[in-house]
């Protein structure tokens, strides 16, 4: 039996700014029967794929500045909404959200659509999950565009794990402080959080678009629980997978591009340089000095620079 889930009414998604794309739905993903996953699928079916994976607490709307660049260049863009976010179904119980639950759903979607020649475009949880996908079927993957995200990297992960064991008011790391803030509420102000992480540059209409998937508190179980799921220790689901992925990227032979929102207090330049050191051949990153955690809000220039690095699609 699928978990009990809510479905956000379509009316919540009317008049989205700069996001005219019609959603598609997968209701029969292997292992997820009975749950509906929404995704954007634009561009020629046979074109190289840009798989754009969002994080917490955003949805595929986050890529609205990058999608047109990839499409204009001749690419195909697939941008799913994780369960619990965007137009996808939202399990009500926090216990239904696990690392493996979400990772498995992305692998199932990739296989259902039989995506090939993929450029992974990821940030936040889109990277925490997405960076572990190519090692399962490497022949599907070609390039990487990575922004403000992480894998379990030592000693950093152990430092954060130790920090999370401290009382909330004594935490020192950026993630430890965010974790404390996020777990104090049962009604996360999603649009406000994304706006803060985007340098408060969003319009009222854009803030409303980030709020659109969540009509009430019951729909926010995923948004609230996700910070607790980030794997920082061996006891957590996803840690071993993430460590295995580090080894994969150590031997990566595809092209890569990194963009960093330098104003991100959690996954800024230092954290991203540690990740870059694990990605074989990853060049000097593009630094967006004013860019925050949700650096896709500067996505047009990032996408254009990545395509230049990649010599087109």
Confidence class for position 1, pLDDT limits 50, 70, 90 = confident
Residue 146 three-state SS: strand
Out of 10-14, 140-144, 182-186, least confident range: 182-186
On the question of pLDDT at 108 being above 90, the answer is: yes
On the question of pLDDT at 261 being above 80, the answer is: yes
* 250 alpha carbon, distance to own chain's centre: 21
On the question of pLDDT at 116 being above 80, the answer is: yes
Higher pLDDT, 179 or 289: 289
Q: What is the pLDDT of residues 118-160, one digit of tens each?
A: 999 999 999 999 999 999 999 999 999 999 999 999 888 888 8
Task: Tell me the residue range of the domain where 190 lies.
Answer: 5-310
Q: Which two tokens stand for residue 140?
A: 């599907």
- The catalytic residue positions are 124, 264, 293
The Cα–Cα gap between 43 and 64 comes to 14
The number of distinct structural domains making up the chain is 1
* Crossing angle (nearest 10°) for helices 174-182 and 221-229: 150
* Crossing angle (nearest 10°) for helices 156-164 and 174-182: 40
For residue 72, CA distances in Å to 41, 66, 116, 309, 312 come to 14, 10, 19, 16, 11
Residues forming beta bridges with residue 258, ordered by sequence position: 146
Q: CATH no. for residue 137? A: 3.40.50.1820
Cβ-contact 224, 189 below 8 angstroms: no
């Amino acid at each position: 039996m699928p978990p009990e889930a809510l479905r956000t009414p379509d009316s919540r998604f009317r008049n989205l700014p700069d996001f005219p794309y019609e959603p598609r739905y997968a209701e029969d993903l292997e292992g997820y029967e009975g749950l509906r996953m929404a995704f954007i699928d634009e561009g020629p079916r046979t074109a190289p794929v840009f798989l754009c994976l969002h994080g917490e607490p955003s949805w595929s709307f986050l890529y609205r500045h990058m999608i047109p660049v990839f499409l204009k260049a001749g690419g195909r863009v697939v941008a799913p909404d994780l369960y619990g976010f965007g137009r996808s179904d939202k399990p009500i119980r926090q216990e239904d959200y696990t690392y493996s639950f979400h990772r498995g759903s992305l692998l199932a979607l990739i296989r259902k659509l039989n995506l090939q020649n993929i450029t992974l475009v990821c940030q936040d949880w889109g990277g925490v999950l997405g960076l572990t996908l190519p090692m399962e079927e490497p022949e599907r993957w070609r390039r990487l565009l990575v922004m403000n995200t992480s894998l379990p990297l030592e000693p950093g992960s152990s430092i954060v794990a130790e920090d999370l064991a401290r009382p909330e008011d004594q935490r020192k790391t950026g993630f430890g402080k965010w974790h404390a803030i996020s777990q104090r509420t049962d009604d996360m102000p999603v649009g406000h959080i994304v706006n803060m992480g985007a340098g408060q540059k969003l319009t009222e209409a854009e803030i409303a678009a980030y709020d659109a998937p969540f009509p009430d508190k019951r729909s926010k179980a995923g948004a609230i629980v996700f910070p607790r799921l980030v794997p920082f220790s061996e006891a957590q689901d996803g840690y071993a997978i993430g460590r295995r992925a580090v080894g994969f990227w150590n031997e990566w032979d595809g092209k890569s591009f990194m963009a960093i929102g330098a104003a991100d207090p959690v996954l800024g330049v230092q954290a991203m340089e540690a990740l870059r050191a694990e990605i074989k051949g990853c060049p000097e990153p593009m630094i967006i000095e004013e860019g925050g955690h949700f650096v896709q809000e500067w996505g047009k220039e990032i996408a254009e620079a990545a395509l230049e690095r990649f010599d087109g699609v």
